[in-house]
Amino acid sequence: MKKIISTFVLGMALIATATAQNADKTWWQTWIGSEKWAEVFEPAFSHWNVGVNLGTTGIGVDVATPLTEHVRARAGFSFVPKFDYTMKFGVEVRNKDGVVLESSKFAKMAELLEQLTGTEVDQSVTMVGQPHMWNAKLLFDVYPFPNKHWHVTAGFYAGQSLIARAVNAIEDAPSLVAISMYNKMYMKSMNGEPLISYNGQDIYQLDLQNRLLEYGRMGVNLGTDKNGLPIIIEPDKRDMVVVNVKTNAFKPYLGFGYTGSPFRDESYQIGFDAGILFWGGKPSVLTTATMSTPTVSTDEWGNDIYSYDTYSIDLARDADKVEGKPGDYVKLLKAFVVYPVLEFRISKEF
C-alpha cells in the first residue's frame, strides 16, 4: 500500500513540475515547438519561382518562394524605360512693374541679343520630359482558395522620390544662355552698375543700358498661381530650365492577382497583378520660379538696389492655371492620388 501511495505522490509531483514549466511558456512558444508549426511551414523555401514582369511599373524581374501552404513571398525590381515627351512654354518680356510688354518689344530684344551674342532667340522654350521611375519591391501573396490560383497581395515598393523630370531641349540651350546674359545686363542697368568691370576699370554703355531698361526682362511664363500672380521661370545658374516630379520613395501596395499554367509543362506559369501604390497623394511638380516684380532695398548711400527673388513652387498644389500642353500634364498628374498597378507576369518554377 505504501508503495502505491509513494508511486502516486511521485507521479503527481512530476505532473506538477511539467505543468509549472509549461506555464512559464507563452502560447506561441508552445505552438512553435509543436508538430503543427512544422506542418504549417513545411513548404517554406521548398521551391523557387523566377518571373519577368511588364506593366504600369515598367519592366521587371522577381523571385518568389512559398512561406507556408497559403502564403508566398516575392522580391524584385522594376523600372520604367526612358522615353521623351515634349511641351512648349512661351517667353515673355516684363518691365520692373511686372507688366507684360508687347511682342514688338521681344522682337527688338531678340535683335539686340543676336547683335550681342550672335544667338537667335526663340519666343518659346521646348521642354523634354522623361520618366525616372524605378522600384525594388517586397510582396506577400495570400492564396485563400484551395486551387491556389487567385491571390491577394500586400507589401511595398521602394525607390527614389524622383519619378519624372523635364528639362529644356538641347537646341534651346543657346537661347537660354542668351536670356541669362541679357537678364544679368538688365539687372546691372537697373542698379546703375557698369556692364563690365575688368582690371579695375568700369565700363558703362549708357545707350545700350537705356535700351535694356526700355525693353524689359525676359522669362518663361508657366501660368498663374492661386493668388493670381504670374509664374515666371528663368534659366538657373547652369542656364537650364528644370521641372521635377516627385512622390514618396516608400510606397505601400495592396492588390490581387491570378497565376496559372496553360502549358503542358506546368512549371511555366503566366499571371497578372492589379492593385494600387500609395505614393503620398498627388505628385509634386517642382520648379524654381522668379518673382515678376523686383524687391527693392537701400544701400549705405541711400540708393535703391533691385533684385529678383526666386522661390520653389509646386505646380500641382500652388498653381491655379498652367498654360498649354504643360497644363494638361499637370492636370493628369494631379489625378493620380494613388498609382494604378497592372502587371503581366511569366515565370518558371524550379
Name residue 51's beta-bridge partners. Answer: 62, 347
Contact (CB, 8 A) for 44 and 66 = yes
In angstroms, the first-to-last Cα distance of the chain is 66
The one-letter amino acid code at 281 reads G
pLDDT under 50 in the chain at which residues? 3-5, 7-23, 25, 27-29, 31
Over residues 37-66, the pLDDT tens digits come to 556 565 777 889 999 999 999 999 999 999
pLDDT at 9: 45
Distance CA 213, CA 98 (A): 13
What type of residue sits at position 330?
V
Question: Rounded distance, CA 149 to CA 269, Å?
Answer: 11
Which among 339, 314, 350 is positioned nearest to 137, based on CA atoms? Answer: 339
Q: Would the pTM of this model clear 0.85, i.e. be above it?
A: no
CA 110 and chain centroid, separation: 36
Residue 32: per-residue pLDDT: 53
Q: Which of 151, 108, 349 is nearest to 254 (CA)?
A: 151
Give the residue ranges of DSSP H helices in 162-217: 173-190, 206-215
At 19 the pLDDT is 46
